Chain A
Amino acid sequence: MSRILGIMMVTFFGALLILSTVDFSPWSDPAQPAAVHVSPRYIERTIEETGIPNVVTSVLADYRGYDTLFETSVIFTAGVVVILLLRREKKW
């Protein structure tokens, strides 16, 4: 019973996700919202605002600092969970 319910829910939410891709802008469309004002803003002003020549690094660690902080904590969680699940030692 719960298996059928699970399959139904997965199908429903999967169909919802596939349905939502119809509204995506086409691949590499120069007129999509992110390419119109977000990317040019970072590319033009990253040197004068952060002094970092590499735009990828400045976006990763400065403009999108929250994202990288929680990426790091995801890695932290993965490491701790593997230790908790697998390690069978009294003395480390």
Chain B
Amino acid sequence: MTALLEANNLTKTYGNDTVAVDHLTISIGRGRIIGLLGPNGSGKSTFIKLINGLLTPTEGTILINGAAPGVESKKRIAYLPERTYLQSNMKVNQLIDFFGDFYEDFQKDKAYAMLQSMDIKSNTRLRTLSKGTKEKVQLILVMSRNADLYILDEPIAGVDPAARDFILKTIISNYNENATVLLSTHLISDIENILDDVIFIQDGKIKTQTTVENIREDYGKSVDAYFREVFAC
């Protein structure tokens, strides 16, 4: 079986002198929850946008299920961007219909079940919801797809601890066994218990790719503490 995601010498430069992703080579397998960690400006978001085909590489290749980003890869990737693109005057049930029309793998019943379990009314407009509830709605839309790869860019930024627990539980209970979840965040201590692997990225390069349990066994410290040491911040 081919790797779910394969990047080879992947490079993205902005203008003449800003190298956001720098000859990055990585292979990502199936059935893992992976943290994509790195300081601000390390290239996390650029890497994610390259995977999603929102940016084209300056150099090198990126393959999803063995093919370059395109229509097929977008069918298989469920992406939660850092900033929302949803119309705030739409009602939650309209968004569900919208996603149902757009993605073949969208499961409406699952979306409604999750809304109900979080006590979110489906006939309310997005703009009337609190920040935390908006985040939850967007996560529900993404996790209701039956995708191969879920990419969540900062899914827990700015939500309270209870909402965070709920978001993490939703992620754990809703990805399928062969799917991989790629989570970008700098709130490491909040999420490290749900991760299989971590990828540390710095200056557009992979600094470390390992498992959470390896870090704990080899260094006797949390991923959060290890991260602070590696990046000396």
- Do A and B belong to a common assembly? no
- Interface set of A (CB-CB < 8 Å, partner B): none
- Interface set of B (CB-CB < 8 Å, partner A): none
